[in-house]
């Protein structure tokens, strides 16, 4: 594959003006030396730019002066260094009657490493003129495209990724509650929605024989036992919970109460577990009863805020409805309305879905991007988690309602995302048919929801890998690049790190539950449809989809 390189920032300067003298008045004072700027520079014959990519390991760097240079000033004025400041031995030569300075590294530079070339103002021409302003070029050498791990079959590679990612939810689970920590630096903070994804991951791990059924049963029973005693409001859980005590942990200043969307993600996982652990023995029977109680306790209809025809995302005993965020589509929250309609004890009427989620049809898009029709949602589809979180359990294949075809929605959303990376309109280094995927993730110095309309130069592995059921060929190409080419820069203890930017030379050191979970679950849906089949077998889910006007296989 084509080698890849890094950032280079360059300072450009105007050509120096030539001084002139007046009429010939005979001998006079000697004119002062003319200070200068470089006429131009090139790296491997590419003329001066603000960014250089794919720089060879032994690049040829040329600086053109407007006059002959003073060789005696060169060694003290030119420095080639690694980003960390380590000096690199450079070979210097001269062309064009000493008006061209040529710099080469004495030894091949390291792969995918940032270097700087500094030319100080002490550089002089033969007549004593000085460089007007120092120049610094930054360059990054090409990516090593060789395999970092041994080649294995595609099927074995999928298993390898699932097994390593599974460790986040198994090995790194909170020791008291068994729930998923929000991220690898969260301590006692566990995540409600991420635990729902994690429960599904545990079922996948059992199916793939990473753990025994007995061990999985014990862990899910531990989680449900903890949840029964955790703090709830109207049966709903908060976004974050203290994994040791069960107390609500505020997600933000006023978000210190119930979160109906996170609760829906959790219930999606619990209902999947209920369908999986279907044995007649006492332990599995008790688990199903506990899950049913947690499920029936959620007062979905109460979150319509005095019977409005829309669900509200948050409620706090302290701040009541102050967050005032209506759950409207298109986004990751479809599962919230499906489960609210499916509730055996606190169901919402169809009007809440029609007027709230679908906004009486304003959910529709029906525009084309890259020649792909997008039935729903914002321009270009938004971040890819919109097509993942609700569809860990909901099977979009053949699924439709009055507003759209969901198989077309999630497939074209993923392909638009892919084609945006291939087109790369922002010219970010590293994007390709093998390197794509935009969703909510960590970014350098922060967190953002990346998408084709909010492209920050950051790729999140979960975006492409969780799209495996929709774009199997494109996702496999991305997986092979992430695993074989980026190697251990990206694939680590708990699977793929959260995100990276080849453009910025940055790799996250974080793992986040809501990004790791969809990878293992959606790869399994691609391979066996296991989680889709389990969740869609819930009689309540079928009834809820029917109530909202959905059509599809088995509904």
Q: How far apart are CA 222 and CA 202, in angstroms?
A: 13
Q: What is the pTM for the complete model shown? A: 0.90
Q: What is the 3-state secondary structure (H, E, C) of 124-192?
A: EECCCCEECCCEEEEEEECCCCCCCCCCCCHHHHHHHHHHHHHHHHHCCCCCCCCCCECECCCCCEEEH
In the prediction, which pLDDT does 122 show?
A: 97
What architecture (CATH level 2) is domain 40-140?
Sandwich (2.60)
Q: What are the structural domain ranges in the chain? A: 40-140, 154-547
In the prediction, which pLDDT does 11 show?
A: 36
In the prediction, which pLDDT does 14 show?
A: 34
How many CA atoms does the CB half-sphere of 162 hold within 13 Å? 27
In the prediction, which pLDDT does 31 show?
A: 75
Structure tokens at 25: 């008045």
The CATH number that domain 154-547 falls under is: 1.50.10.140
In the prediction, which pLDDT does 22 show?
A: 41
Long-range contact pairs involving 12-18 (C-beta distance under 8 Å, separation at least 24): 12/48, 12/50, 13/37, 13/38, 13/132, 13/133, 13/135, 15/39, 15/66, 16/66, 16/132
In the prediction, which pLDDT does 19 show?
A: 38
Answer whether 230's CB lies under 8 Å from 281's CB: no
Please name the residue that has the structure tokens 């029977």.
Answer: 285
Structure tokens at 156: 């074995």
Q: How far apart are CA 373 and CA 408, in angstroms?
A: 8
In the prediction, which pLDDT does 12 show?
A: 36
Q: Which residues of the chain have pLDDT under 50?
A: 1-25
Which residues are within 8 A (CB) of 321 and not within 5 positions of it... i.e. 6 or more apart?
Answer: 305, 312, 314, 315
């Amino acid at each position: 594959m084509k080698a890849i390189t890094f950032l280079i920032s360059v300072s450009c300067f105007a050509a120096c003006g030539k001084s002139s003298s007046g009429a010939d008045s005979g001998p006079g004072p000697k004119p002062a030396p003319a200070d200068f700027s470089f006429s131009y520079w090139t790296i491997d014959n590419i003329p001066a730019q603000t960014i250089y990519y794919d720089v060879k390991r032994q690049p040829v760097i040329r600086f053109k002066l407007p006059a002959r240079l003073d060789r005696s000033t060169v060694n003290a004025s030119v420095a080639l260094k690694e980003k960390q400041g380590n000096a690199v031995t450079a070979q210097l030569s001269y062309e064009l009657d000493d008006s061209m300075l040529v710099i080469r590294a004495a030894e091949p530079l390291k792969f995918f490493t940032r270097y700087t070339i500094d030319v100080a103002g002490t550089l002089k021409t033969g007549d004593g003129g000085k460089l007007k302003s120092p120049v610094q070029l930054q360059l990054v050498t090409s990516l090593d495209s060789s395999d970092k791990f041994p080649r294995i079959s595609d099927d074995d590679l999928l298993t390898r990724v699932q097994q390593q990612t599974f460790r986040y939810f198994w090995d790194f689970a909170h020791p008291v509650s068994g729930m998923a920590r929000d991220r690898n630096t969260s301590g006692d903070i566990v995540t409600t929605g991420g635990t729902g994804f994690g429960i599904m991951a545990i079922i996948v791990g059992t199916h793939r024989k990473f753990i025994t059924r007995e061990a999985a049963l014990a862990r899910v029973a531990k989680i449900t036992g903890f949840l029964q005693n955790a703090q709830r409001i109207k049966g709903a859980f908060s976004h974050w919970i203290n994994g040791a005590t069960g107390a609500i942990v505020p997600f933000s200043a006023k978000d210190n109460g119930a979160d109906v969307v996170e609760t829906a993600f959790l219930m999606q996982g619990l209902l999947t577990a209920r369908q999986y652990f279907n044995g007649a023995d006492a332990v599995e029977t008790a688990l199903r009863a506990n899950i049913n109680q947690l499920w029936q306790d959620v007062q979905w209809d109460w979150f319509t805020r005095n019977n409005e025809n829309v669900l509200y995302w948050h409620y706090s005993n302290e701040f009541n409805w102050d967050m005032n965020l209506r759950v409207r589509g298109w986004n990751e929250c479809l599962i919230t309305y499906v489960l609210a309609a499916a509730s055996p004890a606190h169901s919402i009427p169809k009007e809440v879905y029609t007027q709230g989620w679908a906004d009486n049809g304003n959910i529709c898009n029906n525009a084309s991007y890259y020649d792909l029709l997008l039935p729903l949602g914002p321009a270009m589809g938004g971040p890819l988690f919109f097509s993942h979180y609700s569809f860990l359990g909901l099977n979009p294949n053949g699924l439709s309602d009055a507003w759209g075809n969901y198989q077309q929605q999630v497939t074209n959303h993923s392909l638009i995302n892919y084609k945006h990376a291939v087109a790369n309109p922002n010219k970010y280094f590293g994007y390709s048919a093998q390197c794509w995927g935009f969703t909510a993730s960590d970014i350098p110095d922060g967190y953002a929801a990346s998408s084709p309309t909010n492209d920050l130069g950051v790729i999140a592995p979960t975006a492409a890998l969780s799209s495996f059921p929709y774009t199997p060929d494109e996702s496999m190409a991305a997986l092979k690049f992430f695993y074989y080419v980026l190697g251990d820069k990206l694939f680590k203890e708990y699977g793929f790190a959260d995100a990276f930017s080849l453009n910025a030379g940055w790799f996250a050191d974080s793992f986040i539950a809501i990004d790791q979970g969809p990878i293992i679950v959606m790869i399994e849906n691609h391979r066996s449809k296991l989680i889709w089949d389990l969740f869609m077998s819930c009689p309540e889910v079928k009834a809820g989809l029917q109530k909202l006007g959905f059509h599809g296989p088995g509904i």
